[in-house]
Amino acid sequence: METDTRNYVHFSVRHQLKNRIRIITPVLLNDPERGYILEILLKKRPEIKRVRSVFAIGSVVIEFDSGRLPAKNLLIMLDAVLGNIALKQADLKKDRKKTFDGPLQEVDLAVQGMSCASCALLIEMVLNRDERVKKAGVNFATETVTVQGQLSKAEVIDKIEKLGYSAMPIDTLSQRKKLIEKELQRIDVARRRFVWAGLLTAPVVTIAMTMGGRTWMRWLQFALTTQVVFGTGSQFFSKAYRLAKQRAANMDSLIALGVGSAYGYSIPSLFRRRGHVYFEAAAAIITFVLLGRYLEERARGKAGEAIRKLVDLQPQTATLLVNGVERVVDIDDIKIGDVMLVRPGEKIPTDGEVIVGLSTVDEAMITGESMPVVKNIGHQVIGGCVNGNGVLHIKATAIGMDTVLAGIVHMVDQAQAAKLPIQKQVDKISAVFVPAVMVISAATLTGWLLAGAPFAFAFGNAITVLLIACPCALGLATPAAIMVGTGQAAKQGVYIRNGESLEIASKLNAIVFDKTGTITEGKPRVSKVYKISRLAENKLVMLAASAENNSEHFLGKAVVAFARDAGVELQECAYFYSETGHGIRAEVDGYELLLGNRAWLENQQVEVVRLAEQADNFASQGQTPVYMAINGKEAAVFAIADSPRPEAAAAIERLHQLGIKTMMVTGDTEKTAYYIADKVGIADVVANAKPEQKLQIIRQLQDEGHNVGMIGDGINDAPALAAANVGFAVGSGTDIAIESSDLTLVQGDIGKVTDTIELSAFTIRVIKQNLFWAFGYNTVAIPVAALGKLNPMIASAAMALSSVSVIVNSLRLNK
């Protein structure tokens, strides 16, 4: 069915079939509430079977009964309904408390220097207080901030930097690349800080436990501790100072106060040569916290691999043709309309249209399909894809954040930003815990002084409260368990990329599968040949394979592989022509050949009546039919199948036994999709799904209250993998799919999904035990310290023991 080309006021038709229409409307752009209203109104009509929306792009897909509701009438109704919704939307905006004169803009920035979730909450709070900000959101896990309002980018950066953090624009992929380089440097710096602090702290603690009473030993402790506190630990004091100027506090404030008090209290004792010194406590606190920060940086570094892989696809320079002269420019200097020269093997700099040349382009980054696609004059190409053997002249049609690759990066970014790991909840508690401990410490000092106790005794008890409450165990509780858990999973053939997945995996109650390469092996092959020609089958196979040997399509490659496996010798083509998406025409051994789909042969005036019935049978069995004609007459049909993985049916049955809902969402045709789904025991199937539709289905299931897992293998699955509560990538899939997921099934065994769910449950139990110990320890120890029943030395030892206990408990995962 042809797409309706008439102009409508409130939407445009992007795709139209007999019983299915896809539109794009600005009325629903980033407005889920209006989208739900539209769905409710449409579903009141019995002729409407299904409505699916993607609010991020204002897309709506409507499946309907065209026999009862003609497409023309549906489109007229849609225009009227969307018009009313648009008017209502304008009325609602007038009722909002915050009003904005002039257009709103969105500013996206990367934020560096956040040490815990309370940092993110502080930045978010300060930004939202500004009357020019409609909405501000800060994500600690991805270290990004998004501000909607009337603040300029420079003004947002200035506000963030006044709080003691740094902000960088991430408007282009090249800017993202620079940010990624800084992230890698930060991980290395965190490692070196911890190692250096550990080397200096070890002798300080040893001296305190053995021969701390000697004067020269005390001076050695002082020298080493000073380097730890004001060298590797200086960051805690600088951040605490900047926050104090803003009348705010976080975990760094508590660390700085505890370490500073212990260090400061020890200085007079050092010069008096009597009294206890607490240098080992100050040094140990810094070292343990730095260990926790390093583990956290490593975990967050793994979480950024998906974006890193995507960003690395774009080249940093491009070769422009200006009046016939080649000029190499930075990728950010390309403008729409510029003509780019792309040589064989080079990456295409940005999205564009081929104006000169013929080549093949590897689009695996988008389709997950390993076979290159033929590109000729007028064809669209995608930035980041690799050019084949030909030379192409490409006119740029999209740049910066408007490219397909940048769009995928943005979708993965947004999907990851929606996750809420346990550690963030811990940091929220810490935001209250920090000032509470400060108040208890001050109350301890005041109470003992009012009770008539000597100042040294009262001050010692106050310091003890700070030291024993230092949140070292809180900092280690989650990263330690995650590191051990991921190592154990790796031994079982499951690579866990980040800690968020371990929080949710044990609670999954819905799993969405991709088909090709996930449920199936991803290895299409010829399963049957049906012929009506008088030529022998080997002769037919030789002719077909010799012709398809010049094709880049994966179905053609399957025919060639079939011939070679059968020991058939191929011949050279005297002539070859390929029509993308349809089929090929060739001459081999004096025979005029046509191979492709039914429409291709019928367009060449070849009747396929005798082959059609068998071809339909192949399709109903989940096999793709490839028609063949010889000298203008129908000759044969090849059935090309991609079999389910041997373990697929058993794996899905295990999930059903656990009470988990399963669904298959694929871009393949309905007949093939339902056949494969029936083979493996999946009842719920969505076929002909585009990447944005997969993403919407994930969101829809989540809106219905499901914790959703997504299993896929191609980059077209990347947004859905990132949006799912837990994303599983098949190890044989594309690198981008693997890095967009939370977990990778290394050997492609989808049966490992249930094993992972069980490991997740154990890991979460360990994390909760760690947190229980950390908070329980503080609950008991702080009152005891405040009552004067502990001295700072015992407090520092207890603090160290709490951290060690967390690590020891985490090591149980190895069993």
Catalytic residue ranges: 514
- The two structure tokens encoding residue 467: 């030291």
Both tokens of residue 459? 């001050």
C-beta separation of 227 from 197 below 8 A: no
Give the C-alpha separation, 721 to 727, whole Å.
4
Identity of the residue numbered 380: Q
- What is the rounded CA–CA span in Å between residue 616 and residue 623? 9
d(CA 365, CA 421): 29
CB 515 within 8 A of CB 495: no
Do 735 and 715 form a contact (C-beta atoms < 8 A)? no
Residue 292 is encoded by which pair of tokens? Answer: 């926790």
Please list, in sequence order, all residues whose beta carbon lies within 8 angstroms of the beta carbon of residue 312, skipping any fewer than 6 positions away. Answer: 177
Paired strand residues for 712: 729
Task: Extract the tokens encoding 11.
Answer: 């939407």
Tell me the one-letter amino acid at 164.
Answer: G
**Ranges of H-type helices in 622-717:** 648-657, 670-680, 691-703
Task: Tell me how far apart the alpha carbons of residues 623 and 673 are, in angstroms, rounded to a whole number.
Answer: 10
What is the C-alpha separation between 337 and 339, in angstroms, rounded? 6
Distance CA(293)–CA(194), nearest Å, equals 9
Q: What are the φ and ψ backbone dihedral angles of 455, each rounded to 5 degrees?
A: -60, -40
- Indicate the burial class of 289 (C-beta count within 10 angstroms; 0-12, 13-18, 19 or more): buried
Parallel/antiparallel/unpaired status of strands 661-665 and 510-513: parallel
What's phi and psi for 583, nearest 5 deg? 170, -165
CB 340 within 8 A of CB 397: no
Sheet of 144-149: strands edge to edge?
Answer: 133-139, 144-149, 105-112, 166-169
Strands (E), 317-471: 317-322, 325-330, 339-342, 352-356, 359-362, 373-375, 380-381, 386-387, 392-396
The residues facing 530 across adjacent strands are: 637
Q: How far separated are the first and last CA of the chain, in Å rounded?
A: 61
Per DSSP, the residues of 36-48 read HHHHHHHHTSTTE
- Spatial neighbors of 127 by CB under 8 A, at least 6 apart, are 133, 136, 138, 145, 147, 156, 159, 160
Task: Give buried/exposed letters for 340-361 (b at 16+ CB in 10 A, else e).
Answer: bbbeeebbbbbbbebeebebbb
- In 3D, which of 542, 554, 633 has the Cα closest to residue 588? 542
Report in angstroms the alpha-carbon separations of 234 from 63, 227, 291, 311, 468.
62, 9, 15, 34, 21
Q: Which residue has the tokens 């196979």?
A: 541
β partners of residue 744 = 495, 729
Q: Is 761 helix (H, G, I), strand (E, B) or coil?
A: helix
